[in-house]
């Protein structure tokens, strides 16, 4: 069973590699001094500084609000588009899917720059709106990619059955199709939200004066050197993410358990 | 035509340039159990879908109870469909599936409840109302699909090969149940299948289709005993089809011998197809029959023996409760009644 | 009865024309035009911007980007394949925990993950402080190409593990039993059955690491410093610092071409634009 031990050691090393940096960041966020080598004592002063930092507070506000709005808009836009695209055939459909796929494939920097050029060419004022618009642009393809497979899996006779029973096409859409693709819609929404929260490059190129997001703030702080307030921020974010993922995991496990129960 | 609840006149339908239905004319009477029967691709499902409103004909008219319904969408037609793979709504439970159509009609909740419960009882699924669809067996889902359609009390029920996914025993049970239900409820059933036994069991009228054309329409007995062409003869039941020549009325020659038969009206010396059913051939001791042959293979089928017997170069399929072993020489005998003459097919 | 749902797509078609097709076209336009030195833009079609790129200084940057991305991808593959393999062979009860642990870092902000290495590799960082503690001399690790590679491997490793794991877990175990039954030993089974069948996952992983690696600019900026520029930094500098949109656009087009080229090479393997090949 040497193999089992080797496997465990190997995975252990991989996970140490993946987590050590983040954990180090977290540990030193509680360090009294700025130093990253010496532990001078436990302190929450970096957290307090974090809360008082105006830049970070406004960045946080913008990050969340853009992520929420962009996720909602791109989910609605993407759902309608996916339903439409699913009914298309042939070369038109292929063309649309290819163009739709472009922001997914393109490096963020190219997407960001192309949008920047677009806005300037149309003399738009850079600001909250341009950043929001950009987020919707790059989120929607991912929403569509989440929903299309679910649509393809739908029994084609389901809409016909609904109409056979007296439902108008709209009623069938509302009461039959959308409930069926709901998992895809939810996944799409979560993806859009996550991508927006995390985005740096596209926001960087399409924001305006006074508008920023967390990633950009961290970038400008990091460029000036190491700051323990960033450590504090990263610890908090790590915590939130951990919590979210545990919640999501529990929820999907709970659904699994309920399913098993009913079968018994 | 007066009693016809569904009337199709000169219906033609093309898909991608190919003709799928070629000038179909069909009349379905009230309270009839009609089956559209034929092999894959013959156009039977397309015909059903045109009646249901899911396809529009390129040419021709569809009448429902005397009204032209070509442009009426499915949700406005007073018929309901049972789909091949049931198409039940997975996110709704049994009760919600069955009541779907009634809810759309904005019926009173208590009324809906009563009707759905009655349906569940009718199908032996009492107390299944709250169950989820994925917890049901194939047979149960099938019955829910039918219930969902019937609860709307349509004048016509369309069924698209609904029993295909069930195992043999269940299928046979359901065939009898469906037939009984149709007679009890007094609804017109239009049924599509490729299984000729199923069609023979359930139908008042069978419409045999092939290549988008109606080959023959009639009662099961007519279709079986008096097939009008080689396709029908071959598709319904099993047949031996031989080349023959009409010597004169009531006299045909095949395999070098002359036989009396009951058909007339063919030209003298005309080439014809001769159809003989396997169960109509009887075994006799060698030399005592009209034909002589050697047994090539024997299979025990429970109900009868199935034998391949070669006579004068033609391999006959014979179904008989008598048996002769492989290699034996036997005689075959048949009556004029057993010989069916039809025009040479393509 | 006509299916009118396809009209639902029309608003989105307008949208993608406006926000995806048009901007790309504008970039293309900028790349093939130049600005006159008096500041006025004239529509003067030229390939000058592309020719500028064929200067050894810039070609070096291009080559460096591809090289570093390739090295990072290779390291990710070497580290990631065994990890994916081990996870796929773990009992299903513990598998989701392992996957969870692999996915979690991806949810952490990329800048923070990169910043983490700044604190580790810096002259006053953890490692160097540790070395001093041991009496060893300090090593200059930050602002080197090695640091950039380290940052890229760190950021993109999960993107390699997951697709390979997906391909391995979807493998029909019956095939392994068949190979066994036919007399193959474990090594042969791996070489001739497992490895080839996991190829779509490997290809997926390579694409998902190489593409962002070759085009990133955060990682080389924060970890590589100004001396180790990659193509992403170059584009950013041209647009933000120099204001040379024409040349910047030309390089963007070059980047797009590299990506599209590597994708079409890999395209035979798994990319389903309708949403098939995904991270998880």
What CATH number is associated with residue B147?
3.40.50.300
Indicate if the pLDDT at residue C81 is higher than 60. yes
Q: B211 with B279, same domain?
A: no
Q: B250 with B187, same domain?
A: no
Nearest alpha-carbon partner for C279 in A142, A111, A81? A142
CB contact under 8 A, C109 and A218: yes
b/e per residue, A8-27, with b = 16+ CB within 10 A?
A: eeebeebeeebeebbebbbe
Q: B216 with B109, same domain?
A: yes
Q: How many CB pairs under 8 A join A and C?
A: 243
| C1 lies within 8 A of chain B by CB | yes
Q: How confident is the model at residue C275 (pLDDT cuts 50, 70, 90)?
A: very low
| B132 lies within 8 A of chain A by CB | yes
Q: How confident is the model at residue C37 (pLDDT cuts 50, 70, 90)?
A: low
Give the residue extent of every domain in chain A.
55-225
Q: B93 with B224, same domain?
A: yes
Q: How far is B165 from chain A (nearest CA, A)?
A: 16
Best mutation target among C2, C93, C107 (most A Cβ atoms within 10 Å) is C107
CB contact under 8 A, A18 and C101: yes
C196-224 residue pLDDT tens: 888 888 988 998 899 899 989 889 988 88
- Confidence (pLDDT) at B346: 55
The CA-CA-CA angle for residues A160, A162, A166, to 5°, reads 110
For chain C, domains (ranges, CATH) are 58-266 (1.10.3720.10)
| Chain C residues closer than 8 Å to A25 by CB | 112, 115-116, 119
**Closest partner residue to C129 among A37, A85, A163, by Cβ?**
A37
- Confidence (pLDDT) at A185: 92
Q: What is the residue range of B207's domain?
A: 4-230
Rounded distance, CA A74 to CA C16, Å? 12
Segment (H or E) for C82: helix C56-88
- Tokens 């130049």 correspond to what residue? C34
Q: How far is B135 from chain A (nearest CA, A)?
A: 7
Q: Return per-residue pLDDT of chain A as tens, 264 residues.
A: 677 888 889 999 999 999 988 888 888 888 877 766 667 778 888 888 888 888 888 888 999 999 999 999 999 999 999 999 998 888 889 899 989 988 988 889 999 999 999 999 898 888 899 999 999 999 999 999 999 988 888 888 898 999 999 999 889 989 999 999 998 899 899 889 988 988 999 999 998 888 888 899 888 888 887 678 888 888 888 888 888 878 877 766 666 566 555 544
- Confidence (pLDDT) at C259: 84
Q: How confident is the model at residue C274 (pLDDT cuts 50, 70, 90)?
A: very low
Q: Indicate the number of domains in chain B.
A: 2
Q: Return per-residue pLDDT of chain B as tens, 346 residues.
A: 567 899 999 999 999 889 999 999 999 999 999 999 999 989 999 999 999 999 999 999 999 999 999 999 999 999 999 998 889 999 999 999 999 999 999 989 999 999 999 999 988 888 898 999 988 998 899 999 999 999 999 999 999 999 988 888 889 988 998 999 999 888 999 999 999 999 999 999 999 999 999 999 999 999 988 888 888 988 888 889 889 999 988 899 999 889 988 888 888 888 988 989 999 999 999 888 889 999 999 999 999 999 999 998 899 999 999 888 999 999 999 899 888 888 876 5
CB contact under 8 A, C122 and A230: no
Cα–Cα distances in angstroms (integers) from residue B131 to residues A200, B83, B89, in the given order: 48, 21, 12
Q: How confident is the model at residue C280 (pLDDT cuts 50, 70, 90)?
A: very low
Residue B256: CATH number of its domain = 2.40.50.140
- Confidence (pLDDT) at A257: 60
Alpha helical stretches, state H, chain B: 44-52, 94-98, 100-104, 109-122, 138-150, 168-185, 196-202, 220-225, 230-235
Rounded distance, CA C255 to CA C265, Å? 16
Map C241-268 to HEC letters. Answer: HHCCHHHHHHHHHHHHHHHHHHHHHHCC
Strands B329-333 and B340-343: unpaired
Q: How far is C107 from chain B (nearest CA, A)?
A: 31
Rounded distance, CA B159 to CA B150, Å? 11
The structure's pTM equals: 0.81
Nearest alpha-carbon partner for A111 in A137, A90, A142, A92? A137
What is the rounded average pLDDT for all residues in chain C?
A: 84
Residue in C with minimal Cα distance to B73: C1
Q: B105 with B148, same domain?
A: yes
Alpha helical stretches, state H, chain A: 2-29, 45-52, 54-86, 90-105, 108-121, 128-153, 157-164, 169-172, 178-198, 201-206, 214-223, 228-263
- Confidence (pLDDT) at C145: 87
Indicate if the pLDDT at residue C76 is higher than 70. yes
Q: B200 with B304, same domain?
A: no
Q: How far is B59 from chain C (nearest CA, A)?
A: 14
Chains contacting C with at least 3 CB pairs below 8 Å? Answer: A, B
| Chain A residues closer than 8 Å to C9 by CB | 80-81, 83-85, 87-88, 96
**Closest partner residue to C24 among A114, A214, A237, by Cβ?**
A114
Q: B263 with B202, same domain?
A: no
Evaluated on CA atoms C247, C248, C250, C251, the torsion sign reads positive
* B36 φ, ψ (degrees, to nearest 5): -95, 120
User: Measured in Å, how far apart are chain A's first and last C-alpha atoms?
Assistant: 38
Choosing from B197, B230, B263, the residue where a domain stops is: B230
Rounded distance, CA B47 to CA B60, Å? 12
Q: How far is C274 from chain B (nearest CA, A)?
A: 23
Angle of the A228-263 helix axis to the C110-121 helix axis, nearest 10: 130
Q: B164 with B287, same domain?
A: no
Q: B56 with B96, same domain?
A: yes
Rounded distance, CA B234 to CA B216, Å? 13
| Chain C residues closer than 8 Å to A96 by CB | 9, 13, 16
Q: Which of residues 15-54 of A touch C (CB under 8 A)?
A: 15, 17-19, 21-22, 24-25, 28, 35-38
The token pair at A63 is: 């990050």
CB C200 within 8 A of CB C167: yes
Q: How far is B7 from chain C (nearest CA, A)?
A: 19
Q: B112 with B203, same domain?
A: yes
Q: How many CB pairs under 8 A join A and B?
A: 57
Rounded distance, CA A44 to CA C276, Å? 46
Choosing from B168, B197, B230, the residue where a domain stops is: B230
Query: What homologous superfamily is domain A55-225 in, according to CATH?
Result: MetI-like (1.10.3720.10)
Q: Taking residues C230-236, report their average pLDDT.
A: 89
Q: How confident is the model at residue C135 (pLDDT cuts 50, 70, 90)?
A: confident
| B57 lies within 8 A of chain C by CB | no
- Confidence (pLDDT) at B47: 95
| A129 lies within 8 A of chain C by CB | no
Q: B61 with B34, same domain?
A: yes
- Confidence (pLDDT) at A254: 62
Chains contacting A with at least 3 CB pairs below 8 Å? Answer: B, C
Q: B185 with B278, same domain?
A: no
**Closest partner residue to A163 among B75, B90, B148, by Cβ?**
B75
Choosing from B174, B208, B230, the residue where a domain stops is: B230
SS3 state of residue C228 = coil
Residue in A with minimal Cα distance to C84: A11
Nearest alpha-carbon partner for A16 in B145, C83, B76, B50? C83
| C4 lies within 8 A of chain B by CB | no
Rounded distance, CA A34 to CA A225, Å? 11
């Amino acid at each position: 069973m040497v193999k089992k031990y080797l496997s465990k050691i190997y995975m252990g090393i991989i996970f140490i590699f993946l987590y050590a940096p983040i954990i180090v960041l977290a540990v030193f966020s509680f360090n009294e001094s700025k130093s990253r080598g010496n532990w001078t004592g436990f302190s929450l002063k970096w957290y307090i500084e974090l809360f008082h930092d105006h830049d970070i507070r406004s960045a946080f506000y913008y990050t969340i609000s853009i992520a929420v709005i962009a996720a909602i808009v791109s989910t609605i836009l993407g759902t309608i588009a996916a339903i439409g695209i699913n009914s298309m055939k042939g070369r038109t459909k292929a063309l649309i899917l290819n163009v739709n796929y472009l922001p997914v494939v393109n490096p963020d920097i190219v997407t960001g720059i192309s949008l920047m050029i677009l806005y300037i060419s149309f003399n738009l004022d850079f600001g909250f709106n341009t950043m929001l618009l950009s987020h919707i642009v790059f989120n929607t393809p991912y929403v569509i990619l989440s929903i299309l497979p679910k649509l393809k899996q739908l029994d084609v006779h389901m809409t016909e059955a609904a109409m056979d029973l007296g439902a108008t096409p709209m009623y069938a859409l509302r009461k039959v199709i959308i409930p069926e693709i709901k998992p895809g819609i939810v996944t799409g929404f979560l993806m859009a939200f996550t991508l927006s929260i995390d985005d740096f490059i596209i926001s960087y190129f399409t924001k305006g004066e006074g508008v920023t997001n967390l990633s950009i703030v961290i970038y400008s702080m990091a460029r000036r050197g190491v700051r323990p307030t960033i450590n504090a921020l990263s610890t908090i974010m790590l915590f939130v993410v951990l919590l979210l993922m545990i919640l999501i995991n529990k929820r999907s496990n709970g659904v699994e358990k309920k399913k098993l129960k009913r079968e018994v | 035509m007066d009693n016809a609840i569904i009337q199709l006149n000169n219906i033609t339908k093309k898909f991608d340039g190919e003709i799928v239905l070629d000038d179909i004319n069909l009349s379905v009477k009230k309270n009839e159990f009609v089956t559209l029967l034929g092999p894959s691709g013959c156009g039977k499902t397309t015909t059903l879908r045109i009646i249901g409103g899911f396809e529009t004909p390129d040419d021709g008219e569809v009448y429902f109870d005397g009204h032209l319904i070509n442009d009426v969408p499915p949700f406005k037609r007073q018929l309901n469909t049972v789909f091949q793979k049931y198409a039940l709504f997975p996110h709704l439970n049994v009760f919600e599936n069955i009541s779907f159509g009634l809810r759309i009609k904005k019926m009173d909740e208590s009324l809906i409840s009563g009707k759905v419960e009655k349906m569940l009882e009718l199908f032996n699924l009492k107390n299944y109302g709250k169950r989820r669809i994925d917890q049901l067996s194939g047979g149960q889902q099938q019955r829910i699909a039918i219930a969902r359609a019937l609860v709307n009390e349509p004048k016509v029920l369309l069924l698209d090969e609904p029993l295909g996914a069930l195992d043999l025993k269940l299928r046979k049970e359901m065939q009898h149940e469906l037939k009984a239900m149709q007679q009890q409820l007094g609804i017109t059933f239009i049924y599509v299948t490729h299984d000729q036994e199923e069609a023979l069991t359930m139908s008042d009228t069978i419409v045999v289709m092939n290549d988008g054309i109606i080959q023959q329409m009639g009662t099961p007995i007519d279709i079986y005993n008096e097939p009008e062409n080689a396709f029908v003869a071959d598709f319904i039941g099993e047949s031996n089809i031989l080349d023959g020549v009409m010597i004169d009325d009531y006299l045909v020659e095949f395999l070098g011998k002359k036989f009396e038969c009951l058909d007339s009206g063919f030209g003298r010396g005309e080439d014809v197809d001769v159809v003989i059913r396997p169960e109509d051939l009887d075994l006799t001791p060698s030399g005592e029959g009209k034909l002589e042959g050697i047994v090539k293979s024997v299979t025990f089928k429970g109900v009868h023996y199935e034998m391949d017997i070669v006579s004068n170069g033609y391999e006959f399929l014979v179904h008989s409760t008598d048996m002769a072993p492989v290699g034996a020489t036997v005689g075959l005998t048949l009556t004029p009644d057993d010989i069916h003459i039809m025009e040479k097919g393509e | 009865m006509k299916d009118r749902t396809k009209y639902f797509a029309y608003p989105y078609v307008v949208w993608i024309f406006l926000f995806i097709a048009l901007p790309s076209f504008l970039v293309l336009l900028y790349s093939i035009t130049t600005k006159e030195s008096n500041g006025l833009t004239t529509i003067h079609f030229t390939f000058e911007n592309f020719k500028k790129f064929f200067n050894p200084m810039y070609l070096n940057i291009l080559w460096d980007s591809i090289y570093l991305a390739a090295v990072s991808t290779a390291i990710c593959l070497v580290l990631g394949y065994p990890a994916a393999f081990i996870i796929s062979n773990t009992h299903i009860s513990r598998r989701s925990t392992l996957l969870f642990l692999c996915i979690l870092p991806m949810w952490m902000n990329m800048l923070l993950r990169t910043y983490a290495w700044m604190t580790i590799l810096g002259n006053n960082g953890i490692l160097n402080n540790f070395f001093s503690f041991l009496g060893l001399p300090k090593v200059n690790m930050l602002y080197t190409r090695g640091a950039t590679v380290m940052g890229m491997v760190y950021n993109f490793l999960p993107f390699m593990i997951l697709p390979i794991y997906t391909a391995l877990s979807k493998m029909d175990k019956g095939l392994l039993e068949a190979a066994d039954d036919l007399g193959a030993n474990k090594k042969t089974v791996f070489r001739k059955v497992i490895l080839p069948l996991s190829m779509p996952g490997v290809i997926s992983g390579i694409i998902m690491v190489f593409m962002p690696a070759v085009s990133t600019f955060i990682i080389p900026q924060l970890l590589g410093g100004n001396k180790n520029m990659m193509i992403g930094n170059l584009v950013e500098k041209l647009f933000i610092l120099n204001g040379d949109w024409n040349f910047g656009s030309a390089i963007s087009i070059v980047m797009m071409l590299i990506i599209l080229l590597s994708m079409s090479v890999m395209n035979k393997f798994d990319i389903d634009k309708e949403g098939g090949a995904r991270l998880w």
